[in-house]
Amino acid sequence: MVGLGDPDDAAVWWLDEQRALVATMDFFTPVVDDPYNYGAIAAANSLSDVYAMGGQPFLALNIAALPPNLPSELIAEILRGGAETLRQAGVVLAGGHTVQDKEPKFGFVVLGFVHPDQMLTKARAQPGDVLVLSKPLGTGTITTALKNGLADPADVAEAVDWMKRLNRFAGELAVQFGALSGTDITGFSLLGHGLEMAKASGVGFRIFYNQIPFLSGAQRYASEWIFPGGTSDNRLFYGTQVSFAPEIDEASQMLLFDAQTSGGLLLAVPEARAAELLEAGKRLDQPLWPIGQVIAGQGIAVSP
């Protein structure tokens, strides 16, 4: 149902009228210093691709590439962080594979199920849909500030809490309230992943900058031009397809190209159901921010 012909957040294989299999994998190098949090973030990030398809994950396999001189107690904490996050999501950890490498890399293969008629894809956004985001932006600039020894510990702690947070309820609400299109915001940034959705759907997006949530400290680090290399790559690759209002300064523009880790879901929700979705999110303690609209046309326009 979804594969290389229609690039999306996961592959989807039709099983029967009630079930399709969702398959994905992801891994990355450490983004934080604490090994437990590294493992937990890696798990939340890997699970997110299944939630972005409207599915429910049920089984995962470890992918671990670890230096031979890494102390065993640190390895144990990485694995424990991943395992406990999977348990929180109701997912079975069924094994995996480990190799030696000079730099740690950790993640998961994840399998899930989705009803074929309730699957979200990048290609089904419609003009008039409301764009809703489920996590604030800024993990790229904050984790880069951490690597450079410039981050406030409180800002890092907030970013870690959000990166560890599952997109489970956001995905469930999207299906419940009739969303047909969505993606998760990771390395290609809000604008990069948003452009993937817009292009696949044959539409344009209008995003309102002042409605976008940001992590504490993100705008300050951006003003100091602290960004990971991927952020500049994103701007170079996607920038020609984005127009910014003149009031939005260069640092603020870069924040929307900021490469994220374990970011939120970006959902295109039918306008008639958007208010219900937001209210249901409040009841579940699932933050949701309406940040824009799907419009006819192409590309992304960012307004104040």
Structural domains of the chain ordered from first start: 11-118 (3.30.1330.10), 130-303 (3.90.650.10)
* pTM score, whole prediction: 0.97
Rounded to an integer, the average pLDDT of 161-186 is 98
Rounded to an integer, the average pLDDT of 195-200 is 97
Rounded to an integer, the average pLDDT of 247-252 is 98
Sign of the CA dihedral with 59 first, then 43, 21, and 264 last: positive
* Residue 11: strand pairing partners: 23
| pLDDT tens column, 72-109 | 999 999 999 999 999 999 999 999 999 999 999 999 99
pLDDT score, position 139: 98
Phi, psi of 78, deg, nearest 5: -60, -50
Give the number of other CB atoms < 10 A from CB of residue 91. Answer: 23
Kind of pairing between the strands at 289-295 and 92-100: unpaired
Burial of 246-283, coded b for 16+ CB within 10 Å and e otherwise, reads eebeebbbbbbbbbbbbbbbbbbbbeebbeebbebbee
Instruction: Give the pLDDT band of residue 191 (cuts 50, 70, 90).
Output: very high
Is pLDDT of 64 > 90?
yes
**Complete DSSP assignment for 123-177:** T---TTPEEEESS-B-HHHHHHHHHTT---HHHHHHHHHHHHS--HHHHHHHHHT
Rounded to an integer, the average pLDDT of 180-196 is 98
Instruction: Give the pLDDT band of residue 6 (cuts 50, 70, 90).
Output: confident
What's at 192, amino acid-wise? G
Instruction: Give the pLDDT band of residue 185 (cuts 50, 70, 90).
Output: very high
Is pLDDT of 26 > 80?
yes
For 276, the token pair is 């219900």
Rounded-to-integer distance, Cα 8 and Cα 283, Å: 30
pLDDT score, position 5: 84
Rounded to an integer, the average pLDDT of 254-275 is 98
Is pLDDT of 188 > 90?
yes
Rounded to an integer, the average pLDDT of 58-69 is 97
Is pLDDT of 136 > 90?
yes
Rounded-to-integer distance, Cα 181 and Cα 203, Å: 12
Rounded-to-integer distance, Cα 223 and Cα 102, Å: 34
Is pLDDT of 7 > 90?
no
Rounded to an integer, the average pLDDT of 208-230 is 98
pLDDT score, position 71: 97
pLDDT score, position 269: 98
Rounded to an integer, the average pLDDT of 243-261 is 98
Asked whether 85 and 52 are in contact (CB, 8 A), the reply is no
Asked whether 60 and 86 are in contact (CB, 8 A), the reply is yes
Percent of the chain surpassing pLDDT 70: 100
